[in-house]
Amino acid sequence: MAYLFTSESVSEGHPDKVADQISDALIDHFMAFDPTSKVACETLVTTGQVILAGEVKTNTYLDVQAITREVIRKIGYTKSEYMFEANSCGILSAIHEQSADINQGVERAKPEEQGAGDQGMMFGFATKETDNYMPLALDLAHKILQELSYIRNNEPNLIGYLRPDAKSQVTIEYSDDHVPQRIDTIVVSTQHDDFAAEPEMLAKIKKDIVEIVIPRVKANLKPELQALFNDAITYHINPTGKFVIGGPHGDTGLTGRKIIVDTYGGKGAHGGGAFSGKDPSKVDRSAAYATRHIAKNLVAAGLCDQVLVQVSYAIGVAKPCGLFIDTYGTAKVNMTDGEIARKVEEIFDMRPYFIEQRLKLRNPMYSETAAYGHMGRKNEVVNKTFVGPNGQKISQEVELFTWEKLDYVDAVKAAFQI
């Protein structure tokens, strides 16, 4: 019997994403000025306030207030009526030194013996149902909000009432053999300016989303995905009605509270650890990227149609406790999932130091991950400039989303004789 599956996304102006972006901007600055920094930085945002807390071991000093205000300004919280504004919000920093007890378990005389920064399990997932090997419902939910954000920032004359906070949700009907059949429901809630003629403007918001945003998203999809859109889609656009009060004024935001949006939209699994605000010695982040890298290369190599990869660690220990593979019965080789896992361990060294080296994780590459998902993004090289508290500047080329590279496809094919 056919079934429905749903995923959601949130915009860069969502309060939890504001917190993530601030935490990751701090990570990037620490990495730029001292790549050996050990950082765990949490952010809380609410009406007119930002609170920074966490643990740091570094050889640099940052103006965390200036960095925080620039992030908020870039997101678009620049007006006093938002009740959370870049120039006027209060910023309290409670960042302190990292625990020596934790650090002794991570740093070693030999770098390759670096221990995991925490215990836990991390998951990576990939599926061939989209070109970026991501679950379709999440991919569409991200794309809807990315288009909305693009219009807000670049075409204000097209839709001029948009404010930064927004959420989307897409429900897809699948056949018994897990093939997408149609889009059943699309939900979009977008913050907007206050209106005098409320009923008329709420109708206009729905019309603009359905007739402007959705067609632009659809136009950039492959024909087989465009065919999933039809006149029978149920749209819920700002279903509560007015959405003027939003962002950190409408809802307190915290780092790491959108971990399903950040990953696979509920497909596969999640180990529970957030990403933003953590340097790559924290395997919550680095090993989640590494397992995505493995999963994507396995599917791209034709080993299976979709796959879940799990790795687990003990704090302070370099060697993983175990590697698990689930191909959901889609493997194209005559091997059990356990046999596939043992072969994968021979291809990918999952010790923390080697993950950092393979994926170039000691570079300031994290701000771009903090909105619209850490997975399924474009691998590219960009030039970034960072300004220190004394005016010193560092400019460098940074490769983004290295875990999305298909650079191990040939190695996978050779190992499995595909």
In Å, how far from its chain's centre is CA 280? 15
258 is in an annotated binding site: yes
Tell me if 69 is assigned to a ligand binding site.
Answer: no
282 pLDDT more than 90: yes
**Which position has the token pair 């991919």?**
139
Has residue 250 been placed in a domain?
Answer: no
Averaged pLDDT score across all residues of the chain: 95
Please count the structural domains in the chain: 3
242 marked as part of a ligand binding site: yes
- Residue 251 in any domain: the answer is no
Residues 44 and 97 in one domain: yes
Question: Residues 361-382: what's their mean pLDDT?
Answer: 98
pLDDT band at 365 (very low <50, low <70, confident <90, very high): very high
Confirm whether residue 195 is marked as ligand binding. Answer: no
Annotated ligand binding at 16? The verdict is: yes
* Other C-beta atoms lying within 10 Å of the C-beta of residue 108: 14
154 and 224 in a single domain? The answer is yes
Instruction: Give the Å distances, CA to CA, from 361 to 12, 79, 173, 236.
Output: 23, 36, 38, 40
User: Is 278 a known ligand-binding residue?
Assistant: yes
Check residue 106 and give its pLDDT: 65
Per-residue pLDDT band at 310 (split at 50, 70, 90) = very high
The whole-number pLDDT of residue 192 equals 96
Judge if 198 and 230 occupy the same domain.
yes
For 86-140, the pLDDT digits (tens) are: 999 999 999 998 666 555 556 656 776 788 888 999 999 999 999 999 999 999 9
42 labeled part of a ligand binding site: yes
* Statement to judge: residues 310 and 405 lie in one domain: yes
**165 annotated to bind ligand:** yes
Does 356 lie in the same domain as 262? yes
In this structure, the answer to whether residues 281 and 377 fall within a common structural domain is yes
- Classify residue 132: in a domain, yes or no: no
Q: Is 229 annotated among the ligand-binding residues? A: no
What is the per-residue pLDDT for 1?
A: 75
The residue out of 245, 275, 302 marking a domain boundary is 245
Query: How far apart (Å, rounded) are the C-alpha atoms in residues 104 and 143?
Result: 43
Last residue of a domain, one of 245, 266, 299: 245
Q: Is there a binding annotation on residue 155?
A: no
- Per the structure, the complete domain to which residue 234 belongs is given by 3-8+139-245
Would the annotation count 14 as a binding residue? yes
Contact 102, 54 (CB under 8 A): no
Is 143 a member of any domain?
yes
Are both 186 and 217 inside the same structural domain?
Answer: yes
| Domain CATH number, residue 32 | 3.30.300.10
Between the two ends of the chain, the Cα-to-Cα distance in Å is: 33
Does 321 share its domain with 399?
A: yes
243 is in an annotated binding site: yes
Q: Specify whether 100 is located in the same domain as 221.
A: no
Q: Does the residue 325 lie in any domain?
A: yes
Residue 134, in any domain of the structure: no
One domain, residues 308 and 381: yes
Question: Does residue 115 sit within a domain?
Answer: no
Considering 245, 273, 307, which residue would you say is the last residue of a domain? 245
- Give Cα separations from 172 to 177, 183, 187 (angstroms): 14, 5, 12
Query: What's the average model confidence in pLDDT over 32-39?
Result: 95
Statement to judge: residues 328 and 265 lie in one domain? yes
> Region 178-203: what's the mean pLDDT?
92
What is the share, in percent, of the chain residues with pLDDT greater than 70? 97
* Assessment of whether the complete model's pTM goes beyond 0.75: yes
Q: Are both 276 and 240 inside the same structural domain?
A: no
Both tokens of residue 91? Answer: 């910023």
What pLDDT is recorded for position 102? 53
